[in-house]
Amino acid sequence: MTSKPSMLYRISGGRFGRPPAKPETGCPGGCGCARAVAGGSGIQQTTTRRNFLRRNFLGFVGVGMAGFAATLAGIPIIGALFSTPARSEQIWHVVGEVDDFPVDETVKVEFVDVEAVPWSGPAARNAAWLRRTDEESFIAFSVYCTHVGCPVSWRAGASLFICPCHGGVFDREGEVVAGPPQSPLVRLDVRVQDGDVQILASPVPVTGERPS
Amino acid sequence: MNQLRRPIEFVKDRLGFETLIKPLDHNAPPETTEGKSQWAYIFGFGILFSFLLQITTGIVLATNYVPSPESAYESVEFITYEVRFGDTIRAMHWIGASAMVILVLIHAMRVFLTASYKYPREFNWISGVVLLYLTFGMALSGQLLRWDQDGVWTVMVAANFAGRVPFVGEHIAQFVLAGETVSGSTLTQTYALHVFILPIAMVLLIGLHLFLVTYHGISELPKAGKPVNPETYKQEYEEYVEKHQRPYWPQGIWNELFFGGLVVTIIVSLAFFLGPRDLAASPDLTDLDSQPQPDWFIVWYYALISIKPHGYEEVFLVYLPLGFFLFLLILPLIAGKGERHPSKRPFAILGLSVVAGLFIMLTVVGLRAPWVPDYETEPLQAEQLGTQDERILEGARVFHERGCQYCHQVHREGGEWGPDLTEVSTRMGSEQIAVRIVQGIGNMPAYQDILTTEEVDLLVEFLNEVDELGPRADE
């Protein structure tokens, strides 16, 4: 059985790197030795330098071209990958007629998301919590818990919004009464126009970033 | 015999077999290839095998999966119920993912325990840490691709987390959602991430990781009192493996192949008998009664942010995970030399025990999730309480209807977040109970504006008596 290649060979980069450099006979000075061998010959000296310059120049050309190409290809690739749709305009969604909503009752209303595309399927629909406070005024809440964004559920009996994920609890005014959330439920703008109740919904109030 | 050898020799010669396996053909520390200690060095292969299995089952799933928000859920149903062996394939992908997460964590713990990340293997560790996070990225994005109620809310929660990162949070959140809300592009972008971007990154990094393992050699078992000294380490390591002449190929690889095979066997068997993770309801962002359940590998984090002390939101949601991530990345750069043996690194071992202990503890707590209100709980009935007293029964009804029972148990019925109130009358007087209900305390909301005085009275009477009564089942 032949002995295994030594670690020295491996450490010197032998296995994956370049083979060990050939010892340069009588010429330990590397590049400078060309001059030494050439002696007084000025022609050879300039040739060597020109070779050196040309190698470097070609190296620059090669790396430069590759870098240029990568940048050129990269602009549309990175651009498309990180494109977010132009900030969608907030739209007033009609969620029902005023008389559909009994006073003092918190109800769920649904609307179609502004970013919906024809293939959005179930992702196109969003919801909000709405309460009619008196004859003409309404108050609406985003359904996303201000902790990490789970859906809060209105429990009419307890008269509380409860989040199932980490036990956040809000009262009917959206104020935190228990659990980890630190800010009240995000309020959505509501208006009444021509007998219709309309909600101005921003899609996802990313926590802590978008005060209403 | 000669007849058989000739074609084998032909293939070996033409394939350049000797050179092909050359990276494996070197001497390794003897303790990594024989004896009991060789079994500490098998986990990487387990990960590799389960990764290959994930790629294979993933490709099979992709032949039927439709990455469109309209149809994804139905196509997963189709795979589960119509495709031959479809449910088994889904189960293999799900259990394989779980196995990979577990093995990656064990592998990382082993490497930390033996401090194999020190000189000259810093980049072995760093590439491994990135692979660890990519594994979690795969697990999370895979969860979304199920496109059921749990999956859809996962991305919403993920975006909310991202949104908390200072300065760039909103941009990351928009990237995660591929827009400003869960929409048409959310699923397709996550699909591209899960199927192309992350796996390609992983394949490249696994290549680098394996190259580095063969380049620097497998790390020897640490010896107490023999710290890593960059001046002499390579020399000593080389002398050590040369002295013992234990080639890695093929003596050192059999137990790793065995373990890899065992991992795959277990995954397939479990898949066969357990089946895939149940699909939650079809996705509906307007179904606000849903209780999204994260997959188990992220449950520990859910638990952490639920039971953490009040306040310190940003610390727990952003800085702690981010800090931990960076700490793991730069660990070999700040602790690249010195003692490797666990007995000489008490603080490192203490830290590891705390992190591992917390992970397991939080996962167990998180799977029970006592903070989740119990909406399903039923009101206690007359026959259960064994009484016909009108006021007591009315109290029991109020206790259920007003949501007390979401969080409080009486006679084992109800949620677990608040204290069990079966024996509350032995701890508090009527007055105290009434004040507690009306004013609340800690995580108990104040019911002042919610309950009528009459209802409070009914509740107090019910809670005073309920200890004496009992469900029939107990009799």
How is chain B split into domains, by residue range?
A: 21-368, 382-474
- Predicted local distance difference test score (pLDDT) of residue B161: 82
Question: Per DSSP, what are the bridge partners of residue A107?
Answer: A130
Contacts with A178 (C-beta within 8 Å, 6 or more apart), sequence order: A167, A168, A169, B440, B442, B443, B444, B445
Please measure the distance between the N-terminal and C-terminal CA atoms of chain B and give it in whole angstroms: 80
Q: Residue A79 pLDDT more than 50?
A: yes
Amino acid code (one letter) for B58: G
**Residue A185: which of A130, A144, A125 has the closest Cα?**
A144
| DSSP code of residue A124 | G
What does the alpha-carbon distance between residue A206 and residue B160 come to, in Å, rounded to a whole number?
A: 5
- Predicted local distance difference test score (pLDDT) of residue B48: 96
- Predicted local distance difference test score (pLDDT) of residue A13: 44
- Predicted local distance difference test score (pLDDT) of residue B101: 96
Q: Give the residue on A whose Cα is nearest the Cα of B211.
A: A16
Instruction: Count CA within 13 A, CB hemisphere, residue A196.
Output: 9
Yes or no: say if B276 and B91 are a contact pair by the CB < 8 Å rule. yes
More confident residue, A211 or B245: B245
The structural domains of chain A, with segments of one domain joined by +, span 7-81, 92-200
- Predicted local distance difference test score (pLDDT) of residue A11: 46
Phi then psi for residue A142, to 5 deg, are -65, 150
Q: Give the residue on B whose Cα is nearest the Cα of A156.
A: B402
Interface check A78 vs B, CB under 8 A: no
SS3 A122: helix
- Predicted local distance difference test score (pLDDT) of residue A166: 86
Q: Residue B419, Cβ neighbours under 10 Å: how many?
A: 13
Torsion of CA B367, B369, B374, B375, to 10 degrees: -80
Residue B352 Cα to chain centre, angstroms = 17
Yes or no: say if A124 and A112 are a contact pair by the CB < 8 Å rule. yes
Q: Do B183 and A113 touch (CB under 8 A)?
A: yes
Q: Do A3 and B245 touch (CB under 8 A)?
A: yes
> Among all chains, which residue has been given the structure tokens 């064994």?
B386
Percentage, residues of chain A above pLDDT 70:
69
- Predicted local distance difference test score (pLDDT) of residue A28: 45
- Predicted local distance difference test score (pLDDT) of residue B381: 84
Average pLDDT rounded to a whole number, residues A106-116: 84
- Predicted local distance difference test score (pLDDT) of residue A165: 87
- Predicted local distance difference test score (pLDDT) of residue A85: 64
SS3 A172: coil
- Predicted local distance difference test score (pLDDT) of residue B237: 93
Q: Which CATH superfamily is domain A92-200 in?
A: Rieske [2Fe-2S] iron-sulphur domain (2.102.10.10)
What does the alpha-carbon distance between residue B93 and residue B52 come to, in Å, rounded to a whole number?
A: 11
- Predicted local distance difference test score (pLDDT) of residue A204: 61
Q: Residue A8 pLDDT more than 50?
A: no
Q: Give the residue on B whose Cα is nearest the Cα of A128.
A: B286
* Band of residue A116 on the pLDDT scale cut at 50, 70, 90: confident
The alpha carbon of residue B12 is apart from the nearest alpha carbon of chain A, in Å, by 18
- Predicted local distance difference test score (pLDDT) of residue A45: 66
Interface check A17 vs B, CB under 8 A: no
- Predicted local distance difference test score (pLDDT) of residue B471: 60
- Predicted local distance difference test score (pLDDT) of residue B374: 87
CATH topology (fold) of B382-474: Cytochrome Bc1 Complex; Chain D, domain 2 (1.10.760)
User: Which of B180, B210, B299 is the mutation pick for testing A, counting most A CBs within 10 A?
Assistant: B180
User: Which of B301, B313, B378, B447 is the mutation pick for testing A, counting most A CBs within 10 A?
Assistant: B313
CATH, range B21-368:
1.20.810.10
Amino acid code (one letter) for A53: L
The token pair that represents A196 in the structure block: 């219709």
Residues of chain B with pLDDT under 70: 1, 471-475
> Among all chains, which residue has been given the structure tokens 């190929």?
B249
Q: Give the residue on A whose Cα is nearest the Cα of B286.
A: A127
For residue A209, list chain B residues with Cβ-Cβ distance below 8 A: 163-164, 169-170, 173
- Predicted local distance difference test score (pLDDT) of residue A26: 45
- Predicted local distance difference test score (pLDDT) of residue A209: 44
What's chain B's Rg over C-alpha atoms? 29
For residue B160, list chain A residues with Cβ-Cβ distance below 8 A: 144, 148-149, 204, 206-207
Q: Do B373 and A167 touch (CB under 8 A)?
A: yes
Per-window interface: A 171-190 vs B, CB < 8 A: 171, 177-180, 182
For residue A8, list chain B residues with Cβ-Cβ distance below 8 A: 238
User: Which of B240, B286, B299, B436 is the mutation pick for testing A, counting most A CBs within 10 A?
Assistant: B286
Sheet containing A106-112, strands listed edge to edge, beginning at the edge strand earlier in sequence: A92-97, A196-200, A187-193, A138-142, A125-132, A106-112
Interface check A157 vs B, CB under 8 A: yes
Percentage, residues of chain B above pLDDT 70:
98
SS3 A75: helix
Q: Do B174 and A84 touch (CB under 8 A)?
A: yes
> Among all chains, which residue has been given the structure tokens 């290549």?
B207
Task: Give the highest mean pLDDT range of A26-30, A33-37, A176-180, B57-61.
Answer: B57-61
Q: Residue A7 pLDDT more than 70?
A: no
For A40-44, A166-170, B411-415, which range has the lowest pLDDT when averaged over its residues? A40-44
